[in-house]
Amino acid sequence: MESDEQILHILTKENFTKEDLVNLLNSDISGRNILYKKAAEVKEKYVGKITYYRGLIEFSNYCSKNCYYCGIRKSNSNTLRYDLNDEEIMSAVKFAHDKNYGSVVLQSGERNDKQFIEKVERLLKKIYQISNGELGVTLSLGEQTKETYKRWQDSGARRYLLRIESTNKELFYKIHPNDEYHNFEKRLEALQTLNDLGYQTGTGVMIGLPHQTIEDLANDLLFFKNNDIDMVGMGPYIEHSDTPMFSEKHLLLPLNERFNLSLKMIAILRILMKDINIAAATALQAIDPIGREKAIKIGANIIMPNITPTENRKNYLLYQNKPCTDEGAEDCTECLEARIYISGDEIGYGKSGDSKHFFSRMKK
């Protein structure tokens, strides 16, 4: 554990080394509070005390991938599959627009068949039409070809979240099959393609994985920095009993340690990349009832109210004990509104909440 003086010294630096990041991640309770205070100051100065809504629509849990950690992996026969039609999805979009969200996220399992690609393209055009171009749209739909990314961009998509999950190649293949469908280099290439096309590019990692080290997490942070990432969504790894990785649950840190490590990652990232967007992951709330609010206080500025139809939410379980699966969209909105105000932030109603970092990057 590092002393308070060492933590304070590190935080005076303009740039952090890997060793600095490891020391910050290893900080004790006292050092952690110093870190959080600094991160809150940086957040207020560079992005403001404002949290933006991204209405999350998990429109399908069909997936072509077999990631070892994920509850909707292709081989999980215990998952009841669903695929919302256009009308159901647009009903959720209309709710977000009526509630002045400013932005929605279309998320699903990874697919790249022709029908799926055309459906997303069609939805993007409908979203633009129904909102008069006022709703920002983030896609979280996995690896696609450059042509597909361009088609979706031309139809109105501006932001794309493609999580790497771990930037350590060896660890990547401990949590994914090593085959043509789960390729580390292809993931990196897809992120670069999104950047090159001019998307606001997002990625993220799981924190507290079996076999993961503090050095791995420090390298993840440096990866975000070195690749000029515009937005990050990361949170604690929470196991799912219907996955191969469940057999390694005995290797896991206690939940509270995974939670604290996740908050440290958010705080450090806010200081490291001052003007990016950082999401307060729902998985934080699966461990601590006010986990997302704590993340907002120390650096996060994005929150994703789940506006998926209630009857489908319980079937989009990437991990166990996922919160808010039995709430309606209205309940989720009202609950989060109160929570955000309690955390000290305002809600950016009617604002798409684009990444300030993206616009700085485009000027380079």
Place of tokens 């989009």: 316
User: By the 8 A CB rule, do 269 and 302 touch?
Assistant: no
Is the four-CA dihedral 99, 105, 107, 113 of positive or negative sign? positive
Burial class (CB in 10 A: 0-12, 13-18, 19+), 45: exposed
Ordered domains of the chain (ranges, CATH) = 49-363 (3.20.20.70)
* Alpha helices in the chain, H assignment, sequence order: 4-11, 18-25, 29-46, 86-98, 114-130, 146-154, 169-175, 184-197, 214-226, 255-272, 282-287, 291-297, 310-313, 329-343, 356-363
CA dihedral 201, 160, 43, 3 (to 10 degrees): -70
Instruction: Tell me how many degrees the CA angle 257-258-262 measures, rounded to the nearest 5.
Output: 115
pLDDT for 324 equals 60
Please give the pLDDT value at position 203: 98
- CA 360, CA 356: separation in Å to the nearest integer? 7
Which amino acid would we find at residue 61? Answer: N
96-113 burial: b if 16+ Cβ within 10 Å, else e: bbebebbbbbbbbbbbee
Which DSSP category does 213 fall into?
-
pLDDT of res. 331: 60
- In angstroms, the CA 341 to CA 13 distance is 32
pLDDT value, residue 283? 93
CB 238 within 8 A of CB 319: yes
- What predicted TM-score, i.e. pTM, was given to this entire model? 0.95
**106-125 tens-digit pLDDT:** 999 999 999 999 999 999 99
User: According to the model, what pLDDT value does residue 329 have?
Assistant: 60
pLDDT averaged per 10 residues, the chain (length 364): 87 96 96 97 97 95 97 95 96 94 96 97 97 95 98 97 98 97 97 97 98 98 98 96 96 97 98 98 92 95 89 71 60 73 90 94 84
d(CA 301, CA 277): 6
C-alpha–C-alpha distance, residues 14 and 3, integer Å: 20
Q: Which residue has the tokens 């292809």?
A: 186
Residue 328: what pLDDT? 57
